[in-house]
Amino acid sequence: MASNARKRVVILGGGFGGVFTAKHLQRHAGSGVEIVLISRHNFFVFQPLLPEIAGGSINPGDGVTPLRRFLPGVAVMVAEIRELDLGAKTVHVTLGGEPGIRTVPYDQLVIALGQVVDLSRTPGLADRALVMKDVMDAFHIRNRVLGCLEDADATTEPRRRRSLLTFVVIGGGFTGVETIGEVQELVRKSLKYYPNIRPDEIRTILIQHGPRILPELPEHLATYAAEQLRRRGIEIRLNTGVEAATPAGIETGSGPPIDAETVVAAIGNAPAPLIRSLPLALEHGRIAVDRCLRVHGQDDVWALGDDAHIPLGEPNGDKVAYAPPLAQFAFREAKVLARNILAHLENRPLTAFEYRSLGTMAALGGRSGVADIMGVRISGFPAWVAWRLFYLSLLPGIATRLRVAADWLLDLVASRSIAEIRAAQSASRQVRCLAGDLVIEPGIDPGGVYVVTAGMFEVGAGPDAAADPDARAQPPRKVGPGGHFGMPLDGAATPTNEWVRAREDSTAYFIGKDDLQRLAMVSALVGRRADGAPMS
Amino acid sequence: MASNARKRVVILGGGFGGVFTAKHLQRHAGSGVEIVLISRHNFFVFQPLLPEIAGGSINPGDGVTPLRRFLPGVAVMVAEIRELDLGAKTVHVTLGGEPGIRTVPYDQLVIALGQVVDLSRTPGLADRALVMKDVMDAFHIRNRVLGCLEDADATTEPRRRRSLLTFVVIGGGFTGVETIGEVQELVRKSLKYYPNIRPDEIRTILIQHGPRILPELPEHLATYAAEQLRRRGIEIRLNTGVEAATPAGIETGSGPPIDAETVVAAIGNAPAPLIRSLPLALEHGRIAVDRCLRVHGQDDVWALGDDAHIPLGEPNGDKVAYAPPLAQFAFREAKVLARNILAHLENRPLTAFEYRSLGTMAALGGRSGVADIMGVRISGFPAWVAWRLFYLSLLPGIATRLRVAADWLLDLVASRSIAEIRAAQSASRQVRCLAGDLVIEPGIDPGGVYVVTAGMFEVGAGPDAAADPDARAQPPRKVGPGGHFGMPLDGAATPTNEWVRAREDSTAYFIGKDDLQRLAMVSALVGRRADGAPMS
């Protein structure tokens, strides 16, 4: 597809690095360069605003910038990247609505995929924790927090209440700190609508592995931030690692387990699996590039942002600093990278990336923040205003800035919405039970089958047990992992007189009756194949 | 729970009827009445605004009113209603975060559940069509429309392009007309960002079973509305029934099948299954009530809104009119119902419901509308403004009005967002293929297994076929419903040299590799049970 005359630059990823590389290329490249940007979404999401979406002060649709509007002249392709063939200079992608694989050739390739969340190092955490990677993740956290308030308002069982009203964020970096601040603010502002919940029942906990929060900031400001958060009732646990996630909550290295329905993991940034699969040298999980952002050993492949390990000077002994994964750096890297690609295509010399940070800042929720701007350290309300103005200035697109500003304004004048907006619950889902929970009551249709994945349940006979001495004599049957209870697997929906209770904290996978038929079909296939019968 | 002193009124449903009954009760009831409202969501959705959410001019979170804020003093319970025991005067519910069933006793019961969508009368439609019942449904339609534009922009295959760019709405009532108008407007406004799509490739089709659209409006206005829509390029097919939904689109009683990726069903309103299960007399699918809104044969059960068949006068021969399912009627019914419950509790006489409609109106998108207000018929821009002001006045809650007004204002000054915001795609999903689609390419990991649910696929050997004459001699293998292809079911992920192509329009259920393990577990259970082995 790429002709000899026209050179095609393919950019992988619609985050800060990719979008601004495309923007600078589009501004400065002539008609001899075709720019293709491949992104999973057709919009750019400004990661630093995600905690505000989780806190409900920004609408999920308002904090994002449609790529096509911001990048006229750039061919935007919404696709999942499946494979990268550096030898053939092609990218294999799948389009959303299409079966099969599409092949996209390139002349120059820019890798700007950003990082993924990998929680596999902590047992149970990947299944249990909410993450903050995407705009729908953030919106989901907002809705889960409000859902916990709903459920707690209706529940009298003490341990379940405690679990529903405990909000844990793991990770004391920017994202974790801003998220716990926003979640606390959302809960605090919403509580007046939940008459059955006392403010002293709420616990918000920030868990940080290291000795202080916000290690990216000067200690002075991090201390101030920690004080601010503590004053608002947020517990900060320093030097604390999470050992495991359980049905009930989390277990830390120190102290008793914490029962918490809501666990947000703001940790575990890792290179995308695609990057790990490439025959490229990685340094600290990032692609090794030279100071001109060209990938080591490659002529036509470039990388920037979170994906790239970018030296900030000539190797000098072994003391060389590397660019931190911050938006302001990616913004500047994109400028240099776009210039270098054009220089490379025209056989001009490349430029080395150099940048000195303008400062760093963090929002803490509750109209407070901390900032270090060119050596001047500010905190409280001025820092919070500075944070908003700075990010508004970085946000691509006038319409997006207008929408975000309108949301902030509305949040100042109108009360924040407590509407818990969730998609229809899937008929099949993970169910977590606390010890003692009555999962199935006698005489009521369970609506599906429960397959136990952890813990232990007891199944017993119903109210007849009291009337019938023989029934009472029979002890309850135990069902552990791999076992099941609820509806018979053949789908007969008659309620029985059985009850089921969790003996310990447990999880089960619930399969609704509508899904059972589909499963039966697949099961039959699995069975047939095991029998050696033909597949078709 | 309900003491002798305090009477508990339980309202089922958080729609117009339920919410305003609660509001009026809360205003006029003394401390001797406890009001409980049980709703699936913790917010009220104003149904007439759903088409605007589908069109992207209103944020999904802005068009809804949190119940707790609108109804201080009312005990709001977010729960799924499972069973209703009119004899024991109890409601059985499940709470979102809790296993097991909760029992809620009542003294007086108000049924205001609204209707559900039942598409089972048209083969294939329930699986295939998008519906407009909920705020997330509407938001999903917006995102699907934008997703179709994305896919079409990247696709050159003519039939797939046509299917992606054809938008069908079934049903010519208020919802259907407003939805096709809004979808057309969204597409029209977005098209400038999709350089590979020509405006003349877009088809928007409204299918109406009856001889005209908007049967609720005077013929004169309906004719005007149809003209307006046709002038904007919307095709209106009258006297047309949908016979079946297929992988490719729909089949109507007249004319060739229509290939369309996006099919919205604005038909099929039916009583909730719970209502059908009750031992109550139904008339035209609604609960028969007297003029005072009390359910026939019940002393303490009331119904209103879409659930109730409400006579508008004394039976007079057999010519009596019934209240139509319109918001303005439900609004007034709620007032009468609340008054009657309080009167009943105090042994005072009940009041009969009487109401004369103020008029009806419909928005058509593109800043146009039609209205009949107290006999005065207006159309075009004035009707559109009247529509917005009228609905703004009916919207409960100042904050919600402010947010909706702000969205409308933003839509006038800033361009509408084309960000396609979708939740992460489930690893298991229905895949629709058009005849000729290459579903699996040789040498590329299919990522999961496809179980064929309709149509026919061909599986053949890969590029080696050309090199190896023996392989070429072997004809492709056919796989039909119940068969499968893709990854081996034991989960080995090695890409093979097989290709798979759809022989005809077909559907398959794709199960991602991560889901295979869970399925294997359930399959093992099904197998074990079939063998008669113990369950635990």
What is the spatial distance between Cα A471 and Cα B280, in angstroms, rounded to a whole number?
Answer: 37
Phi-psi map region of A233: left, alpha, beta (phi>0 left; psi -120 to 50 alpha): left
- Closest residue, chain A, to B431 (C-alpha): A99
HSE of A479 in the Cβ direction (CA atoms, 13 Å)? 26
pLDDT in tens, A141-153: 999 999 999 999 9
In angstroms, the separation between the Cα of residue A398 and the nearest Cα of chain B is 9
Q: Is A97 close to B148, i.e. CB distance below 8 A? A: yes
**Most confident by average pLDDT, A88-102, B37-51, B427-441:** B37-51
In order of A517, B144, B231, B419, B485, the CA distances from A95 in angstroms are: 30, 14, 34, 16, 20
Over 50: is that where the pLDDT of B3 sits?
A: no
Q: Is A95 close to B151, i.e. CB distance below 8 A? A: yes
**Of the candidate ranges A234-238, A524-528, B155-159, the one whose mean pLDDT is the lowest:** A524-528
Over 70: is that where the pLDDT of B223 sits?
A: yes
Q: Is B444 close to A60, i.e. CB distance below 8 A? A: no
What is the spatial distance between Cα B338 and Cα B342, in angstroms, rounded to a whole number?
Answer: 6
What is the spatial distance between Cα B222 and Cα B489, in angstroms, rounded to a whole number?
Answer: 55
Over 70: is that where the pLDDT of A465 sits?
A: no
Q: What is the full DSSP assignment across B266-301?
A: ---EEE-HHHHHSSS-EETTEEEB-TTSBBTT-SSE
pTM for the complete prediction? Answer: 0.89
| List of residues 6+ apart from B438 with CB closer than 8 A | A99, A100, B499, B500, B501
Residue of A417, A499, A504, A528 best to disrupt the B interface, most CBs of B under 10 A? A417
Query: Whose CA is closest to B525, among A440, A427, A519?
Result: A519
Q: In chain A, which residues have their Cβ closer than 8 Å to the Cβ of B59? A: 59, 61-62
In angstroms, the separation between the Cα of residue A394 and the nearest Cα of chain B is 19
Over 50: is that where the pLDDT of B534 sits?
A: no
Q: Is A43 close to B82, i.e. CB distance below 8 A? A: no
Q: Is B136 close to A421, i.e. CB distance below 8 A? A: yes
* Confidence band, pLDDT 50/70/90 cuts, at residue B254: confident
- Tokens found for residue B179: 């939805």
Q: Which residues pair with A309 in a beta bridge?
A: A288
In order of A440, B114, B276, the CA distances from B273 in angstroms are: 22, 11, 5
**pLDDT value of residue A3:** 45
- Tokens found for residue B80: 């799924």
Q: Is B41 close to A419, i.e. CB distance below 8 A? A: yes
* Confidence band, pLDDT 50/70/90 cuts, at residue A313: confident
**pLDDT value of residue B423:** 66
Per-residue burial over A90-108, b = 16 or more CB atoms within 10 Å of its CB, e = otherwise? bbbbbbbbbbbbbebebbb
Tell me the mean pLDDT in the region B235-257: 94
Query: Whose CA is closest to B365, among B60, B150, B54, B129?
Result: B54
* Confidence band, pLDDT 50/70/90 cuts, at residue B535: very low
Q: In chain B, which residues have their Cβ closer than 8 Å to the Cβ of A98? A: 151, 155, 160, 437
What is the spatial distance between Cα B151 and Cα B201, in angstroms, rounded to a whole number?
Answer: 14
**pLDDT value of residue B512:** 77
**pLDDT value of residue B63:** 85
- % of chain B with per-residue pLDDT over 90: 57
A255 exposure class (CB count in 10 Å sphere: 0-12, 13-18, 19+): exposed
Q: Is B418 close to A69, i.e. CB distance below 8 A? A: yes
Over 70: is that where the pLDDT of B523 sits?
A: no
ipTM for the complex shown: 0.87
**pLDDT value of residue B463:** 56
**pLDDT value of residue A464:** 47
Q: Measured on CA atoms in the order B291, B296, B300, B305, is the torsion positive or negative?
A: negative
**pLDDT value of residue B390:** 83
Query: Whose CA is closest to A51, among A193, A185, A235, A201?
Result: A185
- Counted across chains A and B, CB pairs separated by less than 8 A come out at 259
In angstroms, the separation between the Cα of residue A344 and the nearest Cα of chain B is 29
What is the spatial distance between Cα B408 and Cα B138, in angstroms, rounded to a whole number?
Answer: 17
Among B60, B96, B484, whose Cβ lies nearest the Cβ of A151? Answer: B96
**pLDDT value of residue B198:** 96
In angstroms, the separation between the Cα of residue B167 and the nearest Cα of chain A is 15
- Tokens found for residue B341: 């419950």
Instruction: Decide: A109 and A255 in contact? Cβ < 8 Å.
Output: no
Q: According to the 3-state scheme, what is the secondary structure of B34-51?
A: EEEEEECCCEEECHHHHH
**pLDDT value of residue B399:** 84
> What rounded mean pLDDT belongs to chain A?
88
Q: Which residues pair with B294 in a beta bridge?
A: B302
**pLDDT value of residue B532:** 36
**pLDDT value of residue B493:** 56
Instruction: Decide: A302 and A206 in contact? Cβ < 8 Å.
Output: no
**pLDDT value of residue B513:** 75
Tell me the mean pLDDT in the region B361-390: 88
**pLDDT value of residue A425:** 60
Q: Tell me phi and psi for residue A308, to 5 degrees.
A: -110, 145
Instruction: Decide: A191 and A346 in contact? Cβ < 8 Å.
Output: no
Tell me the mean pLDDT in the region B505-525: 73
In order of A150, A166, A398, A402, B298, the CA distances from A181 in angstroms are: 21, 14, 28, 24, 52
Tell me the mean pLDDT in the region A382-399: 86
> What rounded mean pLDDT belongs to chain B?
88
Helix (H, G, I), strand (E, B) or coil at A531: coil
* Confidence band, pLDDT 50/70/90 cuts, at residue A348: very high
Tell me the mean pLDDT in the region B416-423: 83
- Tokens found for residue A217: 């900031």
**pLDDT value of residue A100:** 72
* Confidence band, pLDDT 50/70/90 cuts, at residue B529: very low
**Most confident by average pLDDT, A208-222, A375-389, B431-445:** A208-222
Count of C-beta atoms within a 10 Å radius of residue A531: 7
Over 50: is that where the pLDDT of B200 sits?
A: yes
Q: Measured on CA atoms in the order B33, B39, B41, B46, is the torsion positive or negative?
A: negative
Q: Which residues pair with A270 in a beta bridge?
A: A116
Q: Which residues pair with B368 in a beta bridge?
A: B365
| List of residues 6+ apart from B318 with CB closer than 8 A | none
Q: What is the full DSSP assignment across B142-187?
A: HHHHHHHHHHHHH---HHHHHHHTEEEEE--SHHHHHHHHHHHHHH
Q: Is B406 close to A402, i.e. CB distance below 8 A? A: no
* Confidence band, pLDDT 50/70/90 cuts, at residue A520: low
**Of the candidate ranges A54-63, A172-181, B526-535, the one whose mean pLDDT is the lowest:** B526-535
- Closest residue, chain A, to B157 (C-alpha): A98
Over 50: is that where the pLDDT of B1 sits?
A: no
**Strands B438-440 and B498-502, how do they pair?**
antiparallel
Among B98, B148, B425, whose Cβ lies nearest the Cβ of A151? Answer: B98
Q: Is B98 close to A511, i.e. CB distance below 8 A? A: no
Sheet strands (E) in A408-529: 428-433, 438-440, 448-454, 457-461, 477-479, 484-486, 498-502, 506-512
Tell me the mean pLDDT in the region A308-336: 87
Q: Is A417 close to B83, i.e. CB distance below 8 A? A: no
For chain A, the C-alpha Rg in angstroms (whole number) is 27
